[in-house]
Structure 1
Amino acid sequence: MSEQASFGYEDIPADEKVERVGAVFSSVARKYDVMNDAMSVGMHRLWKDKFVRRVKPREGEVILDMAGGTGDIAFRMADEGAEITVSDINQDMLDVGIERAMKRGIDGLVWSRQNAEELAFADRTFDAYTIAFGIRNVTHVDKALAEAFRVLRHGGRFFCLEFSTTEWPGFKEAYDAYSHKLVPKIGQAIAGDAESYRYLIESIRRFPPMREFEAMIRTAGFSQTRVEPILGGLVAIHSGWKV
């Protein structure tokens, strides 16, 4: 039997996941940021602001923003003077990010199509590695984490912003009902695509719980790992150091 991978609630051959996830993001790329605002009532902006404050990008640092397609995290870090490479496996997402950067007059970003599991960068290239709302879409999360560790310099830091499962009683049930019943309908109304957003919600449910994912980060070689839950763990900031 061929290796299986999750695609939402469905299990599919692992070698099909990249193509199917790619189709999802190509479909939603043009409406991705509008949908983020609609689904989170704008809170994703606050989460990303907090995330970048934790990263603490500094002038002269070289940072890889993986799965950074539309530029949301990169734009925030570039404001601090860091040298940012924005990478994504999906060219449609990168194209949206490049257009947004041009409209905002943001120069100096490097845009590079990359597979998180097989980065083309040399060992010990970056001071920091960031990935926001992207790692749950990777076929082999352990390979992506190993690559993050490889391309970081000694003393480099890893930061991941990702959905998880809230531990707040009551809120968890309310969010589950909202996400499964309403988000696909919002996706249909705004992006003309209910199925892609159904997958994105289901992919959250299949992602490992916070502590399990933290253990995966440690297994990849990172030290001083930390989890910072937001809204009881609906979203979490994961971090670790290469020492």
Structure 2
Amino acid sequence: MSKTTNIRQEETAPEGGATTHFGFKTVAEGEKAKLVHDVFEHVASRYDLMNDLMSGGLHRAWKQALIDWLNPPRGDRVFNHIDVAGGTGDIAFRILDRAGLNTHVTVCDINPHMLGVGQARAEAQAHGPRVEFVCGDAERLPFPDRSFDAYTIAFGIRNVTHIEQALADAYRVLKPGGRFLCLEFSQVAVPGLDAIYDAYSFSAIPQMGKWVTGDGEPYQYLVESIRRFPPQARFKAMIEAAGFARVQYRNVTGGVAAMHSGWRL
């Protein structure tokens, strides 16, 4: 993807020890989880509002496309689903609205502030015992092996410190025959759209975040983190390396986002 002149230069790595990226900054591995936590603590109460503003509402269509591809069971089948990094409940509630009454969704998120927003929404929407909220790390999920029939993660996997470990743990907690689905910002595949998207992302989104939340820095990070995420084919290979079979992806809105699917055999 082409990059506009307002993309920041990557900052120098800390001296000594393993490092990773936090947007365009290079930080010690042990620091990233806290930095990401601080971002989402700051934006939790207006996270879904900002998604609407940043995407012009398109994130709703993308999430609906994810649920359509998942196609949760509508009958009497018992179906245990985990939605990771989905603290506000947006994906979970969409699944429950579509699925049969024997579907149960566990929302697992590392950030208690995001979970608090989701729990309040669940109570307001009277979802009752069909959904529960658990604080946990995507790289070390607090659930036994082979616990779930399906696993979703939407706009969350790019924020983990070790993507490979998160994929490995997704494989671990799925039952044989279980489905993995990921929705994430990706690499624009339409010529000309990439430059427009870059200009919008780096100019408008942080300013929009500043107007809505009073601070544009969390949204500067979120834009930068999108550019650091592996493109579609490379991420597909990472999912396959974690052990998943029949891996494929679908672009949405010209590759602004992409959905990846895989199966644990």
Normalised to the residue count of structure 2, the TM-score between the two structures is 0.90
* Contact kept in structure 2, 1:28 and 1:193, CA below 8 Å: no
Equivalent residues in 2 for 1:126-137 (5 A)? Answer: 126-137=148-159
Secondary structure of the corresponding residue to residue 217 of structure 2: helix
Instruction: Determine the structure 2 residue equivalent to 1:97.
Output: 118
Instruction: Determine the structure 1 residue equivalent to 2:37.
Output: 22
Instruction: Determine the structure 2 residue equivalent to 1:65.
Output: 83
Flag structure 1 segments of 5+ consecutive residues without an equivalent.
none
* Contact kept in structure 2, 1:66 and 1:86, CA below 8 Å: yes
Secondary structure of the corresponding residue to residue 123 of structure 1: coil
* Number of residues of Structure 1 aligned to a counterpart in Structure 2: 243
How much does 1:192 deviate?
1.2
Instruction: Determine the structure 2 residue equivalent to 1:8.
Output: 23
How much does 1:120 deviate?
1.3
Give a deviation string over 1:137-189, Cα, whole Å, max 9, x none: 00000000000000000000100000001011111100100000110000000
Moved more, 50-59 or 208-217: 50-59
Give a deviation string over 1:61-85, Cα, whole Å, max 9, x none: 1001000110000001112132100
Equivalent residues in 2 for 1:34-183 (5 A)? Answer: 34-58=49-73, 59-79=77-97, 80-81=99-100, 82-108=103-129, 109-183=131-205
How much does 1:202 deviate?
0.2
Mapped partners of 2:234, 2:214: distance in 1: 35
Secondary structure of the corresponding residue to residue 119 of structure 1: coil
Instruction: Determine the structure 1 residue equivalent to 2:232.
Output: 210
Of the three residues 192, 213, 218, the one matched with 1:196 is 218
Mapped partners of 1:162, 1:4: distance in 2: 23
Greater CA radius of gyration, 1 or 2?
2
Of the three residues 172, 180, 186, the one matched with 2:208 is 186
Mapped partners of 2:125, 2:149: distance in 1: 26
How much does 1:27 deviate?
0.1
Aligned AA (1:142): E
Mapped partners of 2:204, 2:61: distance in 1: 22
Mapped partners of 2:215, 2:261: distance in 1: 33
Give a deviation string over 1:88-116, Cα, whole Å, max 9, x none: 00000000001111112221211100100
How much does 1:215 deviate?
0.3
Provide runs of 4+ in structure 1 moved above 2 Å.
none
Give a deviation string over 1:31-75, Cα, whole Å, max 9, x none: 101100000111111110110111111252100100011000000
How much does 1:233 deviate?
1.1
- Identity level (%): 49
Normalised to the residue count of structure 1, the TM-score between the two structures is 0.99
Aligned AA (2:198): D
The CA RMSD measured in Å over matched residues stands at 0.7
Give yes or no for the alignment of 1:238 onto 2:253. no
How much does 1:87 deviate?
0.5
Mapped partners of 1:141, 1:55: distance in 2: 22
Mapped partners of 1:35, 1:232: distance in 2: 21
